[in-house]
């Protein structure tokens, strides 16, 4: 932590800093608020050196924040309110596929902590639902909803099947709400996303997990799509929230062992910008304990529609931890802390270590994926460090303590 040393005159209480810089083990630094102990009356009446203790303030979140919700997405609106949505799973009918992924539920709170299941301070509403398909025997697979505010209207991106018989013919879809309150406003189905580019491969096969971002006035979409049963990440530009106006460009393809466990999968892209770069996280492998997060990044001045602009790290940046009992981490989104000072990752994980090879285990229909919040630590090179997934308090009381030296002359 930053050394704090102040000089003062006899009997005069100095003004202690409200924030101090801390340096993390990855070389990154951050300015954190500090609460100093009250200086006892009369302490500074004699010349000498005195030590005053303080405590750094770190935002800590209940973990998990929200139970039985996979593929979590949190959007912080311009008015400071938080909106949460995710893939809905039903623990009362755990592992029974026809009861999973039937709804899009939107939750709103004034603070991030207010979204927590036990907060009692959030509003919640079902904004979209489908009945089980194939004569009521199969889930329609409403997956990975995200809420975005785009050019004055609300949009929810989600995936669902385009078939009444098969749950696997899934494609990206879009809902639109032109009212300013998305919990009371009317949602209109815009249908599956389409490409205006003749002969484009976008959405011609199993495709899902689309996410939106704007960069320098241009709207972009990322999504996952299978080719020959291998799931890749693609990017294109949008002319409106449900129409692509440029060809689909492949950004990443499963190639490393950590992307190939169970199934060859790259999916669930999420976008965050920092220090002149655009970062794309993506999730890899099957949805059991081997599920993990990879990373792409590009310079903010680069051509984002050129695959050569993007660098892919050859290792996962966020993964299961036996030490903390967190497994199958992934399909994340990003948001800001209440005071906008911290970048946060929103992700799902399991508190049970299970694998696809187990007999009769279907992790897709296991409602044990829960949504959590983690802090991003930016290193000295401007790269994100997602650290080890923690449960409960992430920093001991001793490590939160700081000291200030006051020299009385």
From CA 47, how far away is CA 70, in angstroms rounded? Answer: 60
Which among 176, 267, 288, 366 is annotated as catalytic? 267
The CATH code of the domain at 69-385 is: 2.115.10.20
Which among 71, 209, 259, 266 is annotated as catalytic? 71
Q: Would you list the domain boundaries of the chain?
A: 4-58+396-408, 69-385
Q: How many angstroms from the chain centroid is the CA of residue 262?
A: 23
Q: Under a CB-based contact definition with an 8 Å cutoff, are residues 269 and 252 in contact? A: no
- Tokens found for residue 246: 């440029």
**pLDDT digits over 314-365, tens only?**
999 999 999 989 999 999 999 999 999 899 999 999 999 999 999 889 999 9
Q: Under a CB-based contact definition with an 8 Å cutoff, are residues 6 and 404 in contact? A: yes
Collect all residues with Cβ–Cβ distance below 8 Å to 347 and sequence separation of at least 6.
72, 293, 318, 329, 330, 331, 332, 371, 372, 374, 389
C-alpha separations of 212 from 148, 356, 371 in Å: 8, 31, 20
pTM of the predicted model, to two decimals? 0.92
**Looking at the DSSP assignment, which residues form a beta bridge with residue 29?**
23
Catalytic residue check, 71: yes
Please say whether the dihedral angle defined by the alpha carbons of residues 137, 171, 351 and 396, taken in this order, is positive or negative. negative
C-alpha separations of 17 from 9, 33, 35, 43, 48 in Å: 18, 9, 9, 19, 20
Quick one: pLDDT at residue 394?
45
Quick one: pLDDT at residue 391?
62
What element of type H or E holds 400? Answer: helix 397-400
Pick out the chain residues at pLDDT < 70: 1, 391-399
Quick one: pLDDT at residue 49?
94
- How many Cβ atoms are within 10 Å of 353's Cβ, its own excluded? 13
């Amino acid at each position: 932590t930053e050394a704090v040393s102040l000089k003062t005159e006899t009997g005069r209480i100095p003004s202690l800093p409200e924030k101090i810089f801390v340096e993390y083990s990855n070389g990154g630094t951050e300015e954190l608020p500090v609460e100093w102990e009250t200086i006892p009356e009369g302490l500074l009446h004699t010349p000498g050196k005195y030590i005053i203790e303080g405590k750094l303030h770190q935002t800590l979140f209940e973990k998990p924040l929200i139970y039985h919700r996979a593929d979590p997405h949190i959007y912080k609106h311009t008015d400071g309110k938080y909106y949460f949505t995710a893939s809905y799973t039903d623990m009362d009918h755990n592992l029974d596929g026809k009861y999973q992924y039937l709804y899009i539920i939107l939750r709103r709170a004034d603070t991030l902590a207010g979204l927590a299941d036990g907060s009692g301070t959030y509003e919640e509403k079902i904004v979209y639902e489908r009945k089980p398909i194939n004569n009521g025997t199969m889930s329609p697979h409403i997956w990975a909803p995200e809420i975005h505010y785009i050019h004055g209207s609300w949009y929810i991106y989600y995936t669902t099947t385009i078939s009444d018989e098969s749950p696997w013919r899934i494609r990206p879809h879009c809902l639109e709400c032109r009212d300013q309150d998305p919990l009371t406003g009317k949602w209109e189905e815009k249908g599956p996303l389409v490409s205006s580019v003749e002969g484009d491969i976008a959405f011609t096969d199993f495709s899902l997990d689309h996410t939106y971002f704007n960069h320098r006035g241009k709207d972009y979409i990322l999504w996952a799509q299978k080719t020959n049963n291998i799931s890749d990440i693609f990017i294109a530009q949008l002319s409106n929230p449900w129409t692509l106006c440029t060809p689909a460009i492949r950004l990443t393809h499963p190639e490393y062992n950590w992307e190939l466990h169970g199934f060859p999968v790259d999916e669930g892209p999420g976008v965050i910008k920092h220090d002149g770069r655009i970062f794309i996280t993506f999730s890899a492998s099957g949805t059991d304990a081997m599920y993990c997060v990879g990373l792409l990044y590009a310079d903010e001045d680069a051509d984002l529609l050129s695959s050569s602009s993007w660098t892919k790290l050859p290792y996962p940046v966020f993964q299961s931890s036996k030490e903390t009992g967190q497994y199958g981490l992934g399909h994340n989104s990003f948001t800001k802390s209440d005071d906008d000072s911290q970048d946060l990752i929103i992700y799902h994980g399991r508190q049970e270590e299970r694998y696809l090879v187990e007999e009769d285990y279907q992790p897709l229909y296991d409602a044990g994926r829960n949504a959590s919040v983690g802090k991003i630590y930016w290193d000295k090179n401007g790269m994100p460090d997602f650290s080890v997934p923690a449960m409960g308090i992430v920093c001991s009381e001793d490590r939160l303590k700081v000291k200030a030296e006051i020299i009385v002359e």
